[in-house]
Amino acid sequence: MTVTHEGTADAGYEAATDEARHEHHPSDAQYWKVGLALGLITLLEVGTYFIADPPYDHELAPLLIGSLIFMMVLKFVVIGAYFMHLKFDNRLFRNVFVAGLLLAVGVYLAVLTAFEFWTDRYEDGTYDQDSFLVEDAPAG
């Protein structure tokens, strides 16, 4: 729907209304479906913490961490596409967000690698995270 201005200085000018500008945006029902999907993904993410106690001290740790990273990226993409309207905006905006996401995931993986998180080197009891709390008893 457009509005025309006849008989004024703006004759022939057609102003876009809200309907025309928002014709490609999702409906309220679509937002609810997206919100429900995001809630289910969050439920799966939280559920990974209950698989073992402590959560990542077993052979499934790389699979759990990989699935958490995948779910994080999926939620980022869905939130950016629908709630930030990147799906409907200029491709440049989408590329800026994707570049930021790739940089963040790359830095996260680099930090995990730097701390040797992917190996089981510390599971042999050779590393005690609370060793600084233990005071040496005086000899005698």
Domain tally, the chain? 1
Cα–Cα distances (Å) from 101 to 62, 113, 129, in that order, read 21, 18, 31
Whether 137 maps to a domain, the answer reads no
CA distance 108 to 104: 6
Whether 58 maps to a domain, the answer reads yes
H/E stretch holding 111 reads helix 91-114
Model confidence, pTM = 0.60
Nearest to 111 by CA among 65, 80, 72, 58: 65
Whether 128 maps to a domain, the answer reads no
Per-residue pLDDT of the chain (140 residues; tens, 9 = 90+): 455 555 555 555 554 444 545 557 788 899 999 999 999 999 999 988 887 666 666 777 778 888 988 999 999 999 988 888 888 888 898 899 899 999 999 998 888 788 766 665 555 555 555 665 555 556 65
